[in-house]
Amino acid sequence: MRLLVTWKDLNDEDLRRIENETKATVLKGFTEEEAVKWAADADVILGGFVSSPMLSVAVNCRWMQTPFAGVEGILALHWGNPHMILTNGRGTFGPNISEQVVGLILSFNRGLHLARDNQNQRIWEPRLPIPFRELTGSTVGILGFGDIGSHVAKRLAGFDCKVLGFRQHPQSTVNRQGDAEAIYGMDRFDEFLGAFDYLVCALPETDKTVGFLDGSRLQRLPRHAIVVNVGRGSLIPTEDLIQALEEKWIAGVALDVTSPEPLPRDNPLWTMPNVIITPHNSGYTAFLKRRALQIFFENWEHFIETGIPRINVVSHTLGY
């Protein structure tokens, strides 16, 4: 069995572990040239780096595992083998990204981003130009109540928040509701827009989610609402978001994802005091690699036994 590894975050020790666990011939493709060179020989790809030239020649590849959750870019490429199975890293990002969400909310609540700006200028100013807030008793909407959303709800439960979750298939969360008061379908989302003190967005990119949180919906949020987006930047049209902040439809926004990425240097969002931007890195903790490899090894065992992986198989129809 020939396994092409293109995940650049893996080191030599990781590659030796993969070789020992799988007993496969490991082919390293950390550059596009290497990946294209070996892709035609690969039976399986463990791909962080994925390109159209690589997939085009991967005609013998039966399965590809990506350590990341978002797969819209991979699905849009040309596949040399259209029957190849794709699995993703769903389930690896819940704890790490949810901690980032809580951190971003607390930063807004206590003006930590503004205090840091003052620190850089050596300014001692106890009275910041925003009111200090508490999470106590707040209503938090979670748009995309999957792995990340459920972990956000779990962490916010300790702050006595009322959490309402929204997802495409709410019936699949019977055993996952946990710390959310209720889980609704996306078709119910508009009914609750006026109730959110905070709105956390953790949706994948699909035809149904692109532009979903547009100006008409942003304008119906409470003026004190904080929006946190850790899903995909395409969810919120950038011009609508800028208008919402300039006209004070909402109090602030925290973005770990933007549209486009990277955000152009002349975009107004960079300099707005009610915006916190992180460069799509909320999932990068030491646990990411550990969790992703665990999924891969479990999938590998099933692939060797049955010819197909079983964890996180991506639906081309749904896009995740």
Q: Is the peptide bond before 126 cis (omega within 30 degrees of 0)?
A: no
CATH, residue 157: 3.40.50.720
Q: What is the tens place of the pLDDT at every residue in 181-231?
A: 999 999 999 999 999 999 999 999 999 999 999 999 999 999 999 999 999
221 & 231 share domain: yes
Concatenated DSSP letters of 70-136: --HHHHTSPPSSTT-EEE--TTSSHHHHHHHHHHHHHHHHHTHHHHHHHHHTT---SS-SS-----T
pLDDT confidence bin for 177, thresholds 50/70/90: low
Residue 319 lies in a domain: no
Which range marks the domain in which residue 229 is found? 94-277
| Residue 280 annotated among the catalytic residues of the structure | yes
Predicted pLDDT of residue 173: 53
Predicted pLDDT of residue 318: 87
- What is the pLDDT averaged over residues 136-150? 96
103 & 58 share domain: no
Q: What is the tens place of the pLDDT at every residue in 242-294?
A: 999 999 999 999 999 999 999 999 999 999 999 999 999 999 998 999 999 99
From the list 90, 151, 167, 280, the catalytic residue is 280
87 & 145 share domain: no
- What is the pLDDT averaged over residues 27-51? 96
116 & 216 share domain: yes
Going by C-alpha positions, the residue among 210, 198, 201 that lies closest to residue 252 is: 198
| Residue 16 annotated among the catalytic residues of the structure | no
Question: Does residue 170 have a pLDDT over 90?
Answer: no
Q: Alpha-carbon distance 236 to 281, whole Å?
A: 19
Predicted pLDDT of residue 137: 96
Beta-carbon-side half-sphere exposure of residue 299 (alpha carbons within 13 Å):
28
From the list 90, 155, 232, 291, the catalytic residue is 232
Residue 318 lies in a domain: no
Residue 44 lies in a domain: yes
Residue 320 lies in a domain: no
The reply to whether the predicted model has a pTM over 0.75 is yes
Residue 220 lies in a domain: yes
25 & 127 share domain: no
From the list 247, 261, 302, 316, the catalytic residue is 261
Residue 314 lies in a domain: no
Residue 109 lies in a domain: yes
Number of domains in the chain: 2
DSSP E strand stretches across the chain: 2-5, 25-28, 44-46, 63-65, 85-87, 139-143, 162-167, 182-185, 198-201, 226-229, 252-255, 275-277
218 & 135 share domain: yes
| Residue 239 annotated among the catalytic residues of the structure | no
Q: Is the peptide bond before 67 cis (omega within 30 degrees of 0)?
A: no
Residue 68 lies in a domain: yes
104 & 252 share domain: yes
25 & 104 share domain: no
Q: What is the tens place of the pLDDT at every residue in 61-109?
A: 999 999 999 999 999 999 999 999 999 999 999 999 999 999 999 999 9
